[in-house]
Structure 1
Amino acid sequence: MDDDLNRRYNNALDLLPPLTRAVFLLSRVDDLAYADIAWRCGIDTAEVQLRLADALFGIGRALNGHVTIAMRVRGELLIWRAACARYRLRRRHWRLGRCYREAQARLYPRDTWHRWFANKIKSLIR
């Protein structure tokens, strides 16, 4: 690449939000799968795809010389989108945990007699 194109490419990378830049570099430079990138960055694979699309769009616009305010606004909005994705992920984990908690409650009712009986059976089995 010539120096001007290389400079514009580096400037385009600098304009990207940090997590979007990390996703782009892990995908293009390190050649990792979306699942691996999601695991390393602590986000969902759908969020990896969105951030990679944003990175490609932003870099393409910057290489053509069209750095707009919309790119900067989109970069700021990514923070909110990432917060929403983290909320959805926490809620999904809570729902999965709720199923586990409900199963435990069915196995061990709150009544002390049932708990005593279950512990007595466990001690006999051991």
Structure 2
Amino acid sequence: MTSKAEIIEERKANLPLPDQPPVASDWNSADSRTVNVGAGGRQEDLSHSGLGSDTLREPATATSDVRADGDALKTNTAIGGGRVGVDGIPDDAVAREAKGKAGLAQTTGKDYGYPSKNDPSSGVKQ
């Protein structure tokens, strides 16, 4: 019976050899010229216009109106989405079972339901 070491050596011997002997990787090099890092490395214009970073724009994101101070920015910011001046939590923001409890502000209109002749659950219009 052959040992594991013999089997491994046999399999290694059957592997194809590389065309060229391996060399140390440039990515592991301490020479910054070969890996293009650090100050003083190559700097190229990556823009299509050839004007460099003069044509690059800031990211297309906006500040959150919740966190932005309208007075500091000299602009209007969103205020509460139609619930300005409501005393307490709007009753349409709580679970159905919690509606009507103390401390909630009435913000929902009367539920008239479906008219009896146009009830879609009846299947056919009467």
TM-score interval, smaller chain: under 0.3
Higher percent of residues as helix:
1
Query: What TM-score do the two structures reach when normalised by structure 1?
Result: 0.23
Query: Greater relative contact order: 1 or 2 (C-alpha under 8 angstroms, separation 6 or more)?
Result: 1
Larger Rg: 2
Query: What TM-score do the two structures reach when normalised by structure 2?
Result: 0.23
